């Protein structure tokens, strides 16, 4: 065979193959052209809408926005796929699976579609929720399958800058629970109490909850444990939970108070700032010093059993002698003198209440003393107890602080001294 003729034949074969390939490509390319016409689909036969359910017309950044994508279709579908746009200005999560239900539209059988999403704006400004596209494969009247797209309109959202302050925590509802595994005010020496605080917040994810706070206080060691965070999805938004643990121990055995911690959050329903409070707690290991002294032996206990009563008796006799020196000794005078030497039980109760920081016990003891002495209406008693009733019986979060109980005790003491001098 002549080499030149061979080259021509090969060229002809390549041309024929290329032509056949072009014909096949055109055939496959023109196959779905019928779907683009889809003239049997009216404007009300396939609709896709996106609605925004925000607590306010202009939400704050990082505040939850519920988005509902709904479709209503009276045409017959064989396949469907919803394309989600790039939500670059939002953090987002899908709340459950897509829902399909049978319904009617203008008296015709229809299928409805719904997808619910939670969007969290990343910044302030005018942000846009782009269009969603629903790819459908429809059953045409002639029995063929036709692709058809339904597109939603974009939506603009105006987002505000969050209010100034600490940790920004916008939630639809928030609940705090606080518990100890044992009474922290009665810890044996060297033992610990475990405190657990749980926060449940609606409308946010777990990463939006604040970090574990510090429970530092003089005389108390508080060891924080690893926290647990979870997010549960509902159709109305996520529910975030964080669980904090601390192990508390007294360092000195003396009562020490861990101050309260207020966790501020923004109520997206009322549009007001609220506070969830981890209450103050007293931690102590009572009897630690007494136990150490008792451990020195039975001899010390025997000496103490004899010396203490003897010393008290001698002191009482000496004091009584000084009080009665130069006075007429009668029954009434003797009773008054003994009352001045005998420790007042209500005074002891007030001192214990001051050491424990117990405003209610202090108020009760002070009123008992004033009642016994007929001075409940005394102006000095009223001044010493001013505001204490509101602090004890006020509603949590609204009650006044009890103030310095030691200062109140000093005022009662001054009144006691003046009354005894008049005896």
Please provide the DSSP assignment of 41-60 as one string: --TTTEEEEEEEE-SSSSPB
Let me know the angle formed at the C-alpha of 77 by 73 and 81, rounded to the nearest 5 degrees.
90
Triad 102, 104, 107: Cα angle to 5° = 155
pLDDT at 37 over 70: no
Each residue's pLDDT tens digit, 371-389: 777 776 777 777 877 777 6
Q: What is the pLDDT of residue 7?
A: 54
Helix (H) / strand (E) containing 108: strand 108-121
| pLDDT band at residue 266 using 50, 70 and 90 as cut-offs | very high
Q: Measured in whole angstroms, how far is the alpha carbon of residue 190 from the centre of its chain?
A: 32
pLDDT at 397 over 80: no
Under the banding of pLDDT at 50, 70 and 90, the label for residue 328 is: low
Mean pLDDT of all residues in 175-197: 93
Residue 285 confidence (pLDDT) above 70 = yes
Query: What is the total residue count of the chain?
Result: 423
Mean confidence (pLDDT) of the chain:
79
Between CA 369 and CA 124 the distance in angstroms is 62
Q: What is the pLDDT of residue 300?
A: 39
Please give the average per-residue pLDDT across 293-302, as a whole number: 40
Query: What integer pLDDT is reported at residue 345 of this predicted model?
Result: 83
Tokens of 363: 């108020």
2, containing H or E segment: none
Question: Does the pLDDT of residue 48 top 50, yes or no?
Answer: yes
Q: Which pLDDT value is given to residue 293?
A: 34
**Cα dihedral: 378, 379, 385, 387 (round 10):** 140
Report the pLDDT value the prediction gives residue 372, as an integer from 0 to 100. Answer: 77
Structure tokens at 84: 């989600």
What's the CA gap between 228 and 209, in Å, rounded?
A: 11
> Closest by alpha carbon to 388, among 416, 361, 410?
361
Read off the tokens for 219: 């005389």
pLDDT band at residue 81, thresholds of 50, 70 and 90?
A: very high
Q: Which residues contact 86 (CB under 8 A, 6 or more apart)?
A: 130
> End-to-end CA distance of the chain, in Å?
148
* Mean pLDDT along residues 242-267: 92
- Give the pLDDT score at 103: 94
Lowest mean pLDDT among 224-228, 293-297, 332-336: 293-297
**SS3 for 31?**
coil
- Which pLDDT score is estimated for 410? 81
For the chain, give percent helix, strand, coil, nearest 5.
35, 35, 35
Q: What is the pTM of this model?
A: 0.59
**Cα 228 from Cα 65, distance rounded (Å):** 26
């Amino acid at each position: 065979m002549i080499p030149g003729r061979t080259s021509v034949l090969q060229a002809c074969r390549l041309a024929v193959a290329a032509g056949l390939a072009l014909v096949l490509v055109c055939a496959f390319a023109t196959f779905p052209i019928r779907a683009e016409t889809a003239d049997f689909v009216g404007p009300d036969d396939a609709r896709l809408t996106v609605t925004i359910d925000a607590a306010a017309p202009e939400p704050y950044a990082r505040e939850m926005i519920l988005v509902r994508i709904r479709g209503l279709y009276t045409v017959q579908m064989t396949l469907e796929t919803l394309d989600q746009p790039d939500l670059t200005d939002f953090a987002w999560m899908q709340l459950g699976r897509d829902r399909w239900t049978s319904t009617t539209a203008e008296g015709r059988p229809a299928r409805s579609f719904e997808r619910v999403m939670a969007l969290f704006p990343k910044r302030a400004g005018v942000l846009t929720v782009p269009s969603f596209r629903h790819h459908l494969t429809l059953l045409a009247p002639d029995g063929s399958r036709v692709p058809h797209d339904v597109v939603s309109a974009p939506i603009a959202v105006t987002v505000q800058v969050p209010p100034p302050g600490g940790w920004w925590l916008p939630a639809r509802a928030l609940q705090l629970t606080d518990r100890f595994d044992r009474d922290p005010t009665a810890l044996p020496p060297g033992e610990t109490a475990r405190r657990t605080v749980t926060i449940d917040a609606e409308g946010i994810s777990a990463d939006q909850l604040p970090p574990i706070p510090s429970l530092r206080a003089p005389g108390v060691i508080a060891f924080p444990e690893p926290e647990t965070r979870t997010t549960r999805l509902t159709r109305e938004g996520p529910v975030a939970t964080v669980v904090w643990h601390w192990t508390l121990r007294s360092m000195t055995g003396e009562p020490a108070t861990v101050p309260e911690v207020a966790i501020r959050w923004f109520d997206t329903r009322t549009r007001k700032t609220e506070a969830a409070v981890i209450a103050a707690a007293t931690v102590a290991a009572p009897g630690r010093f007494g136990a150490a002294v008792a451990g020195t032996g039975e001899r010390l206990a025997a000496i103490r059993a004899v010396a203490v009563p003897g010393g008290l008796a001698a002191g009482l006799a000496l004091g009584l002698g000084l009080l009665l020196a130069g006075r007429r000794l009668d029954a009434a005078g003797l009773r008054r003198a003994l009352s001045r030497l005998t420790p007042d039980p209500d005074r002891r109760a007030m001192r214990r209440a001051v050491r424990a920081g117990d405003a209610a016990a202090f108020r009760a003891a002070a009123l008992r003393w004033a009642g016994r002495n007929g001075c409940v209406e005394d102006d000095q008693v009223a001044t010493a107890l001013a505001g204490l009733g509101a602090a004890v019986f006020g509603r949590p979060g609204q009650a006044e602080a009890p103030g310095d109980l030691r200062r109140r005790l000093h005022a009662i003491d001054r009144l006691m001294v003046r009354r005894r001098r008049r005896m």
